[in-house]
A = this chain, B = another copy of it.
Amino acid sequence: MIAEAGLELVPSSIQDHPSVKNYAKKIGRRPDEVLLQTSYHYRVMTERKLPFWWKRGRPDMIHFSLLTALSTPLFMERKLNVYVSTLQDKLILIDHNLRLPKSYFRFEGVIMNLFKDKVIRDPSNKTNLIELKDNITFEEAIHEVVRPDKTIGFSINGSPSSLNEVITENVKDAKNYCFVVGGFQRGHFGNDITRTLDRIYAISHYGLESHIVIARILYECEKLT
């Protein structure tokens, strides 16, 4: 699961800003339909002091992280479920039949439609390819939707360990594990996240990008299968 993901529509408090209106016009959408993105909206996010602005507006990071997870043999073999829990307590559920666009422009389109319609269905059989649930905290998502036997977070603030050890020590039976990686650019997990995690590990001296951590976790898990 990607936690505290910086993935949201532009909040109403800054929809009047020229950077938002111009970008919306450029892509042919209304300002309230556009994703918040630091690459376009950094100045207004900092000027108007959006709370936790440093964790917000990174759909590009979520795109890479999802592409990394969804391109693994584990996901193709349906041994991995992928969830995104956002900073605004929304939960995104991803079906194994979703083909995530590799082009950022098309990904942005899918996510904007998801925020508007709450679900995108397969046109052929009407199953949900990707779904958005509102008002569900990370803790609720873990206990009510994902329901793992153990929840393991990765953060530079965790106990230093080699990833190989983390995976072989924890994942040695047929239980369900939920691995949690932050979906934000700067800062650390909030208290509501850390109290839900059973263990938190630091697998590098570096603050690694989420997609790098995801690639490594899933590769080590694949070796055990």
Interface residues of A (CB under 8 A from B): 26, 37, 39, 60-61, 64, 67-68, 71-73, 76, 101-106, 164, 204-206, 208-209, 211-212, 215-216, 219, 223
Contacts and interface: CB of A to CB of B under 8 A. Distances in A.
Contact of A211 (B71, B205, B208): B71
Contacts of A105: 39, 104
30 contacts: A26-B26, A37-B103, A39-B101, A39-B103, A60-B102, A60-B103, A60-B104, A61-B102, A64-B64, A64-B67, A64-B102, A67-B209, A67-B211, A68-B211, A68-B212, A68-B215, A71-B208, A71-B209, A72-B212, A73-B204, A73-B205, A76-B206, A103-B104, A104-B104, A104-B105, A164-B223, A215-B215, A215-B216, A216-B219, A219-B219
Nearest to A108: B104
Nearest to A102: B60
Interface majority SS (helix, strand, loop, mixed), chain A: helix
Contacts of A26: 26
- Nearest first, the 8 closest Cβ-Cβ pairs linking A and B are A215-B215, A39-B103, A104-B104, A71-B209, A71-B212, A60-B102, A73-B206, A216-B219
A92 B68 CA distance: 24
Contacts of A101: 39
A223 B163 CA distance: 10
Contacts of A216: 215, 219
Given A39-B101, A76-B206, 12 more contacts: A26-B26, A39-B106, A60-B102, A68-B211, A68-B212, A71-B208, A71-B212, A73-B205, A103-B104, A215-B215, A216-B219, A219-B219
